[in-house]
Amino acid sequence: MPLKSIDPTTTSAWKKLTEHFHQIKDEKILDWFQKDDKRAEKFQIEWRDFFLDFSKNKISSKTLELLLSLAEEVDLNDAIEKHFNGDIINETEHRAVLHTDLRKKNKPEEVQQALAQMKNFSEKVIEGKWKGATGKKIETIVNVGVGGSDLGPKMVTNTLKFYKNHLETHFVSNMDGDQVAEILKHINPETALVIVVSKSFGTQETITNSNTIKKWFQNHNITDFSKHFVAVSANQEKAQEFGIDYKNIFPMWDWVGGRFSLWSPVGLTISCAIGFQNFEELLLGAREMDDHFQKTDFAENIPVILALLSIWYNNFFKAETEAIIPYSHYLQEFVPYLQQGIMESNGKSVSRKGNPINYQTGTIIWGQPGSNCQHAFFQLFHQGTKIIPTDFIGFKKPLNKNKKQHDKLMANFFAQTEALLKGKSKEEIAEELKYIDTEQAKKISPFKEVEGNKPTNTILIEKLTPKSLGSLISMYEHKIFIQGVIWNIFSYDQWGVELGKQLASKILPQIKNQKIERNQDSSTSSLLKRYFS
Ligand SMILES: O=P(O)(O)OC[C@H]1O[C@](O)(CO)[C@@H](O)[C@@H]1O
């Protein structure tokens, strides 16, 4: 059964939220804290090794109640059931959306087989039993893919660097040949293994980069590609046509979207880099979050609460962006990964009935690890004019036994959400400036004022492990789903991306033939002329 199509703005919850917004939009979160010493307790969720504090938001109990009734009115429960049941909820591609099946307890037979194949392969590579064409052990893995076939494996491999074995890992994704050239400069073809990841096996970037690497092997007199190339694809035929041995092809399925695929054989590089057991832990963490999402009341449900808060800011406060700030340097690639997940999924403007919609959907996601970003863009958070709801993600325990330094990092983590909440008042500034000449103090005082009242969520996790990372990724995956359901859009297609691909395929022959096509806009034509000259 397809998802229901309910325009959220026609629900009574939406109307009530609109009225409610006008009543509370200028209130100060800090005043609410002062009036209610139980506020933190009211707006927090403890789940396993996760703790979510969402009390530093522009919400009252009434707001939460109305947001929860919005979820009920659009029948989120029905959507969750259809999602996990494997109904065709990706209607425009006529597909089920079942990345959750890759990590559930009783996995489908084909998934079990693929996992066994991954385990066997990664163990062979790690233990040095997989030999290159000249008989040497594999030392370097090169993952070739783009979008979901790159961002997921790259993010997890790099985030879990602490758990990595001796294998060196590289990721080639860009059409820009400089990326692959720089990587090939530093690796030995005799000990390199390439994992070509492409669900379609037709993506220009991936095929071009793979061909470049093939040539590089040939230039080094290595022609037995079966020892140096494996592929992950839903298009086994095309992978074989490319020259990959059929025994070296791992499956992918049309019911797994590229940006949700790291749990499948797309995660083969992860499994090689951190070992299959850790890969299984990652799946387990995701499964536990799936269970939490599926079975917990909305009021206590982490992904539901995060999704509703985001809708509150996006659609009522008209916030245009949302930031995600992990206080762990290991999570450097987390935001670029989520940018694809969130923006490719929910950057849509047509309802599930096919009509244009007149309200905002997908938020713009950005961010970087703290504390670096405090010295980069946090000034704009504190004193800029924009509202930027932010998720702060931190870990209680450090991985590299340097507790003192971790305490300093975490002091910054807690201080930032406090500063964003409290700001700095005129009175506090006057007190600070009392020893300065009064004229000068008066002059600089307005520049030092910090308004505060900026919304944040704090997600505090016990420790960065494969399992907790699995839960964290799954948490955001479900947030994407919930928001798509409420916004009444299709989250699992990406037709917009196709247009650029089509136009590039028209421009390339013009470049090759140095000949401008007639029916093209004059800007593109003149740019091409300049490129030719
Ligand atoms: O795995 P493939 O088929 O090469 O596709 C790569 C990426 O291209 C897209 O289709 C569009 O950017 C993504 O959704 C996908 O992750």
Pick the residue whose CA is nearest to atom 4 on ligand 1: 198
Is 228 annotated in the active site? no
Q: Largest alpha-carbon pair distance within the chain?
A: 80
| pLDDT at res. 234 | 97
From the CB of 264, is ligand 1 less than 6 Å away?
no
Ligand 1: does its nearest atom lie under 6 Å from the Cβ of 479? no
Does the beta carbon of 44 sit less than 6 angstroms from any atom of ligand 1? no
pLDDT of 440 strictly over 90:
no
Residues 162 and 303 grouped into a single domain: no
| 521 half-sphere exposure, CB direction, 13 A CA radius | 4
Same domain? For 236 and 311 the reply is no
113: number of Cβ within 10 Å: 12
Residue that wins the pLDDT comparison between 230 and 439 = 230
Query: pLDDT tens across 482-507, in order?
Result: 999 999 999 999 999 999 999 999 99
Give residue 333's pLDDT. 98
Q: Is the pLDDT of residue 243 over 90?
A: yes
Q: How far apart are CA 402 and CA 412, in angstroms?
A: 16
Q: Are residues 378 and 520 in the same domain?
A: no
Asked whether residue 110 carries a pLDDT value surpassing 90, the answer given is yes
Residue 91: inside a domain, yes or no?
Answer: no
Residue closest via CA to ligand 1's atom 7 equals 147
Is the domain of 238 the same as that of 104?
Answer: yes
> 408-424: b or e for each residue (b if 16 or more CB lie within 10 Å)?
ebbeebeebbebbbbbb
According to the model, what pLDDT value does residue 434 have?
83
Please determine, for residue 436, whether its predicted confidence score (pLDDT) is greater than 80.
no
Regarding the beta carbon of 200 and ligand 1, being less than 6 Å apart is answered yes
- Residue at 209 is within a domain: yes
- Ligand 1 pocket: which of 154, 200, 237, 346 to mutate (most atoms within 8 A of CB): 200
Q: What is the pTM of this model?
A: 0.98
pLDDT at 435 over 80: no
| HEC profile of 88-105 | CCEHHHCECCCHHHHCCC
Residues 394 and 479 in one domain: yes
Domain boundary among 237, 256, 281: 281
Tens digits of residue pLDDT in 270-305 = 999 999 999 999 999 999 999 999 999 999 999 999
Asked if 42 and 123 sit in the same domain, the reply is: no
How is 166-200 classified by DSSP, letter by letter?
S-EEEEE--SSHHHHHHHHHTS-GGGEEEEEE-SS
- Could you read off the pLDDT of 10-68 as tens digits, one per residue? 999 999 999 999 999 999 999 999 999 999 999 999 999 999 999 999 999 999 999 99
The DSSP secondary-structure symbol of 3 reads P
Q: Kindly state the helix (H) or strand (E) to which residue 342 belongs, with its residue range.
A: none
Ligand 1 centroid vs 498 CA: distance in angstroms? Answer: 10
Alpha helix positions (H), 248-385: 268-274, 276-295, 302-311, 334-339, 345-346, 378-383
Examine the residue annotation and report whether 27 is marked as an active-site residue of this protein.
Answer: no
State the Cα–Cα distance between residues 459 and 48, nearest whole angstrom.
Answer: 12
Q: What is the overall mean pLDDT for the chain?
A: 97
- The rounded Å distance from CA 131 to ligand 1 centre is 30
Spatial strand order in the sheet of 390-397: 44-47, 50-53, 456-463, 390-397, 321-326, 364-366
Q: Which of 375, 401, 404, 512 is catalytic?
A: 375
Considering the domain architecture, whether residues 414 and 438 belong to the same structural domain is answered as no
Q: 350 pLDDT exceeds 80?
A: yes
502 to each of 17, 203, 211, 511, how far by Cα in Å? 42, 12, 21, 15
User: Is residue 97 over pLDDT 80?
Assistant: yes
Residue 81 lies in a domain: no
Please check the confidence at residue 529 and state whether its pLDDT lies above 90. Answer: yes
Claim to verify: residue 369 and residue 430 sit in the same structural domain: no
Looking only at the bridges linking them, the beta strands covering 249-251 and 229-233 are parallel
Find the catalytic residue in 344, 467, 477, 478: 344
From CA 366, how far away is CA 376, in angstroms rounded? 13
pLDDT at residue 314, as a whole number: 98
Over the stretch 163-197, which tens digit does the pLDDT of each residue have?
Answer: 999 999 999 999 999 999 999 999 999 999 999 99
Looking at the structure, tell me whether residues 124 and 152 fall in a common domain.
Answer: yes
Q: Taking residues 248-274, report their average pLDDT.
A: 98
The one catalytic residue in 4, 426, 501, 506 is: 501
Mean pLDDT of 327-333: 98
Q: Are residues 273 and 411 in the same domain?
A: no
- 80 lies in some domain: no
CB neighbours of 145 closer than 8 A, spacing ≥ 6?
Answer: 153, 171, 173, 196, 197, 198, 203, 206, 266
Residues 120 and 263 in one domain: yes
129 catalytic residue (yes or no): no
Pairing state of beta strands 390-397 and 140-144? unpaired
The CATH number of the domain where 233 resides is what?
3.40.50.10490
Residue 168 lies in a domain: yes
The pLDDT value given to residue 437: 75
CA distance 354 to 361: 15
Q: Classify strands 50-53 and 140-144 as parallel, antiparallel or unpaired.
A: unpaired
Please tell me the distance from the alpha carbon of residue 77 to that of residue 294, in angstroms, as a whole number: 9
Give residue 347 CA to ligand 1 midpoint distance, Å: 16
Confidence of residue 439 (pLDDT cuts 50, 70, 90): confident
Return the number of other C-beta atoms located less than 10 Å from residue 54's C-beta.
23
Place of tokens 């590579």: 125
Which residue's CA is the closest to the ligand 1 atom numbered 8?
Answer: 147
pLDDT band at 442 (very low <50, low <70, confident <90, very high): confident
Residue 258 has pLDDT above 90, yes or no: yes
Residues, the chain: 533
Containing structural domain, residue 509: 501-532
Ligand 1 atom closest to the Cα of residue 205 is: 4
The residue from 253, 281, 309 where one domain ends is: 281
- Tokens 């139980």, residue located: 38
Question: How many Å from the N-terminal Cα to the C-terminal Cα in the chain?
Answer: 56
Note whether 305 and 409 are same-domain residues: yes
**Total of domains in the chain:** 4
- Do the domain assignments include residue 287? no
Three-state DSSP at 58 gives coil
Tens-place pLDDT, residues 444-482: 999 999 999 999 999 999 999 999 999 999 999 999 999
- pLDDT computed for residue 48 by the predictor: 98
Q: What is the mean pLDDT of residues 502-520?
A: 95
Residue 174 has a CB neighbour count (10 Å cut-off) of 14
